[in-house]
Homo-oligomer: A and B are copies of this chain.
C-alpha cells in the first residue's frame, strides 16, 4: 500500500500500527524513530520495524506516509525536526486525541506539496510504551480523520484505506467537532476518574489501604482509567482546554443539582436520572460499543464490581 511508512514515536499506538503494517503488508519498509535511545532499542528488540533512527529526519526521508505518534503537546516541536526532510507528495498524519491544537502546531512547519491528513484512532488501553502494542488494538474501533484545507481527496482515501486495513471504521469530521465530541466521550471522563482517585487517596477518615481493599465496589473501574499515561493526558487537557472546560462546567452544574437533590431528599429527581442513564447503556450495547456481559465479562473468579 505504501513504500515507506515512518512512525515518529513508538508507544502503545505507534507499536500497534507497526504490528498492523507488518501483519497486513501495508508498507514495504517501516522506519521507526523516537526520542529516547532505550525506547528505540526496545522497538528494535521487538522487531517492530525495518529501520531505526535517532534522527526523525532520517526516518521520514523518502517516506510516502509519515505518522506522528507522540503526546499532542510535542507535535509542533517534533514536526519542526523532520519537516525539511519530507518528500513531495508524502501524506503526513498523526494519532493525537486533540485535533485543533495539533493542526495549529504542525501546519506551519509543513512544506507545500505534502498532504496533511490529521487522524485519531479511538483506541488504547491503560498501558503504554512499545511493549503495550498489539495488532488487534484498532479492530472494530473508530478512526476519525479531520482533513484540513487544501483537501487532497486521493490522500484522504489512501489514509482511510490504511486504517480500514488495520480493522478500523473510518469517520470524517471537522477538527472543531472532533474536539467537542472527544471532550465529552473521553477527556472529561478521564479527568473525573483521575480526580476521584486523587480525592480517595487524600482522605483522613478512610485509609488508602481500605480504598484499595474495597475498590471492587465501583471505584476500581475509575482506577483503570486513572492509570492511563500521565504525559499523554496532561497534554490532552492542556491542548483541548476550551472544550474540556465547557463540558466540565456542565458536568459540575449537573453534579451540583444532583447534590442538592440528595441534600433535600428529592428521590424522584434521582430516580428519573438513573432511569434515563440506564437507557443510554442499552444504546451503547445495541451499537456494539461494549459487551452486554455483566461486569464487562471480567469473569467470576475475578472480583466483580459492586452493588453498593
Contacts and interface: CB of A to CB of B under 8 A. Distances in A.
Interface of A: 12-13, 73, 96-98, 120, 122-127, 132, 134, 136-137, 139-142, 177, 180-182, 184-203, 205-206, 208, 210-238, 241, 244-245, 247-248, 250-252, 254-256, 258-259, 262-263, 265, 267, 270-271, 273-278, 280-284, 287-291, 294-308
A306 B262 contact: no
Given A289-B212, A304-B124, A199 B263 contact: no
Which 7 residue pairs spanning A and B have beta carbons closest together? A124-B307, A97-B308, A125-B294, A136-B300, A227-B281, A230-B274, A186-B217
A11 B159 CA distance: 51
A305 B301 CA distance: 23
A224 B124 contact: no
Contact of A219 (B139, B184, B234, B241): B184
Contact of A136 (B237, B255, B301): B301
Contact of A127 (B139, B191, B287, B294): B294
Given A218-B185, A281-B224, A303-B140, A236 B296 contact: no
Q: Name the residue in A191, A252, A288 with the highest tally of chain B Cβ atoms < 10 Å from its Cβ.
A: A191
Number of copies: 2
Nearest to A200: B184
A181 B210 contact: yes
A77 to B, nearest CB: 15
Given A124-B305, A184-B206, A219-B186, A277 B236 contact: no
Contact of A300 (B134, B234, B287): B134
Contacts of A224: 221, 281, 290, 295-296
B219 A189 contact: yes
**What is the interface of chain A mostly: helix, strand, loop, or mixed?**
helix
B302 A225 contact: no
Nearest to A124: B307
A263 B127 CA distance: 27
A128 to B, nearest CB: 8
